[in-house]
Chain A
């Protein structure tokens, strides 16, 4: 068969299509159209055949009609004028005695997506709403939504809206659900379809007739309903109880979501509902579909934020199978960390240890850092495992272990002795910059505990010329200066060499500036340097609060059963998703922040704002307005310091994910002449409005506290 280019194909097809002999032979005509559609599916541009195809749509053969409609809907936007010709045929089809033809015509009429055709479409759509056949009504109802979508600014006739409301009582459940969907779309500006008591009860009563898609839709829309009395609320809840333990994960999740929104004022009932879905959720984790498993795992993570003990005894259900994909393994590992308790810690650590040698490197890293997280409460066992892992002498494992150890020591300084003896001698295996960064930090801070540190650093300093990573170079500077402070005799010479290189030869501004800083600092004297470098990064008495407190359910219930929990990374903010509407500001603790992330971000951000007001006990009050205090100094130290964070979000934009993160430090100085709190705020991404809003919330809280 000779090669036929797309232009030749189109020309050939056009010739055949306009051949009267072909047109009179139905079978040949249809087969030719089939060829056009096949070419279209293969990516050949057949838009040139538009006028021929328009003619082909006047036929009694329904398959041919469908094919032509597929074609027309794909290319209509390119040929608005010619599309006008189709409208007549379509309108004629809307009168056809066969309901299949009517619904087909109606659907495609609205699928053409041409604003210029709207006036021709409205009349058949109105008629379609009153059609005898349910399948036509289904299409007509959604047709109005499509029409509205085409020209969002135009008002849809109030009569149509009323008709759609009355169709909520249509005998066909799909028509009913489609009505909800359409009204939701059309009335978006007004906040969606109005849900009052009669509609709610009508929908609830017909829930059983709907298929799972319909059920989920109804359950989602009912979230807006607020029962008028407690009796009514409990009646609704008992009606919903069956769906709550539905074997279909989407229905179960939608019901739980509705439960949580109905019970937002009754946290105890909400928690009871979470207990109730434990079984179905665990079952969903064993779903045959991996994607469904993944979704279930992500949602379990949300639930655990409010009820950490929920899955405790079922921890074995979260053990990973060998062939499971990495995304499931990693979520399971995250869940396992949450489930640790005194009884299962040994088995759990043993299992996690097995994952540390996973072929997938990121899974192995996830397992190693999970062990580190558990180490905050069970440090001895975990350090033993981590030390053992170093013995494997695998590059990426060693690097991950050192990073994990650094994070662990940061929180539990009492582990430093074990960590120091473990990391000694592993510098040869670490190649990546993050691992070396962590190692240098450890060596610098605990230089006096490891005898071989000067030799290790010397190797690093000798190789500094070929070092590519800026972070490693800066850490090397700090580590060497720190070491110099505690072991001056061994370090002086190499420190000199390093400073000389960094100041004279280094091209990176950050590195050379830091070197200059240290150089000048050393000029001021050893004591000064010690004050700067060995006065720890934070107050020694400043401890991180281990373990997050159980969060109230409404912290996360608004993202439950959406796409949001599936997105990787807790504090990723996507600028592209920014909502254009400006909405009232509210604060939230999610995405949650770990102490390490907090420190990281704290060091990155720079935009302080200062204001004054008077102090009292803060923590409880802060929690009330969703500001999380992450760490604070013991009560009587001065200055008393509190670190806190929160996220701002736009309440209206539940559809999009958008918010900004605010970090704060409160400094209370009682001994100064003027009483006052110094507040330092850092923010990411920058958003003046959100910052102002946050400040006003914070001032209100502080004022309220001081007036007590």
Chain B
């Protein structure tokens, strides 16, 4: 691992906060970071690893901040990036939004956190649920009692502390699937996959024991066991929250756990399968140099008639020098966003099986723009409630607690667009 120091920089490269963990790299080395970055940017070769002499910078960018780790060892790069993302995750849970402002406003907490997260270049306590128990933003108030070490630091159930109480015991389960699709200009699907996650919002008292039942088809897919041939999908990249008893899952396929309090992600998975694009786009973009561009886009809902896609946005790229837009739509409305060189066609509700049409007309200047432009794809955004592509279903959620209270589970399904791209041939 061995990160020598961690820096948080603003967009201009000014150090907002830093922590020198090992003391084997000169802290002034960070001054070279920005100039290196600029130099790489000019050459079009930005890279997440940059070297200056024998110092390597590994960096990520988050909103208007750079998080940089320096090292002079041949350290494990993937671990360093994981740690930087962990930092982002922890800070975000503390400050809701991680950006320059929140660092400035909370720098005491940031110092405290940096101190606990890493020592001598090695990650220590990185679970934000635990950290939140003894590093609080209310630290500014004088409260000596709060400085006790939480039992959870060494507890068996490290993600939940004892003595939590709610008046009304409820748990909300969200099953969210996002669809990633890449369609070629000639209309063939190049790649598609589903990224799903089950999120919990737990409002339960005490130390409840939960058991989640999923439908068989999904369970088989999870364990890689194929029931009826051909029908099963293979899930890869399945991750459970650390609270799930993996041994139990491996032996009898039950997902049992003591949930963390509040919001958490119970599991995530990815299904690499051929999905029929839920919203199919056919586009004809004709560019007549020096005079006009004509765009015709047809959107078709390729999902069940009973379902409705909400807040559909079809984003169609147009040349940067286009002007005087004219639109005609069969439903919804289209808007020209010149700063992004896009036409955004919004349809509030899009029932399955329906087909809609949008025509756009732009003028082009007679003097040609000689800047090279890429070929941006058409992207689509949508959200379909009460529906999952993989067919995953929550059969039951059993909640058992010593005190024997009754608790209600609520389930919600949403399918949404992820990276949904259709290439055009212009």
A residues neighboring B (CB under 8 Å): 26-27, 30, 34, 37-38, 41, 43, 60-63, 66-67, 70, 98-101, 107, 113, 133-135, 138-139, 142, 145-146, 149, 171-172, 174, 177-178, 181, 211-213, 216-217, 220, 247-250, 253-254, 279-280, 282-283, 286, 289-292, 294-296, 316-317, 319, 321-322, 325-327, 351, 354, 357-363, 394, 559, 561-564, 566-568, 574, 576-577, 654-657
Contact = CB atoms under 8 A, between A and B. Distances in A.
B78 A250 contact: yes
A220 B73 CA distance: 15
Contacts of A279: 236-237
Given A292-B81, A567-B49, A316 B140 contact: no
Contacts of B60: 289, 291
A212 to B, nearest CB: 7
A61 B142 contact: yes
Nearest to A139: B119
B372 A322 contact: no
A354 B153 CA distance: 53
26 contacts: A66-B115, A98-B149, A99-B149, A100-B148, A135-B149, A135-B154, A138-B124, A142-B122, A149-B24, A181-B122, A212-B82, A213-B1, A216-B1, A250-B82, A253-B76, A254-B76, A286-B237, A327-B46, A327-B48, A559-B74, A561-B78, A562-B75, A563-B76, A566-B49, A566-B77, A567-B51
A213 B111 contact: no
B212 interface: no
Given A41-B107, A316-B190, A576-B53, A172 B82 contact: no
B74 A562 contact: yes
Contacts of B125: 174
Contacts of B17: 41
B302 to A, nearest CB: 21
A250 B373 contact: no
Contact of A253 (B75, B78, B144, B237): B78
Nearest to A314: B272
A60 B147 CA distance: 11
Interface string B117-130: 00110111111000
A145 B213 CA distance: 48
Nearest to A113: B23
B79 A322 contact: no
Interface in B140-164: 140, 142, 144, 147-149, 153-154
B120 A561 contact: no
Contacts, number: 207
A437 B56 CA distance: 35
Contacts of B14: 43
B49 to A, nearest CB: 5
Given A216-B79, A286-B270, A563 B182 contact: no
A535 to B, nearest CB: 40
Given A98-B148, A211-B126, A295-B77, A63 B24 contact: no
Contacts of A135: 149, 153-154
Interface string B68-94: 000101111111011111000000000
A70 B111 contact: yes
Contacts of A61: 142, 144
B122 A322 contact: no
A247 B237 contact: yes
Contact of A295 (B78, B120, B139, B148): B78
Contacts of A142: 119-120, 122
Nearest to A74: B20
B289 to A, nearest CB: 15
A655 B82 contact: no
Contacts of A327: 45-48
B419 interface: yes
B374 interface: yes
B122 A27 contact: no
B23 A283 contact: no
B32 interface: no
A569 to B, nearest CB: 11
Given A26-B142, A100-B149, A327-B45, A213 B108 contact: no
B15 interface: yes
Given A34-B108, A322-B374, A654 B22 contact: no
Interface string B381-409: 00000000000000000000000000000
A67 B78 contact: no
B369 to A, nearest CB: 13
A216 B76 contact: yes
A654 B24 CA distance: 18
B15 A43 contact: yes
A249 B123 contact: no
Contacts of B139: 63
Contacts of A100: 134, 147-149
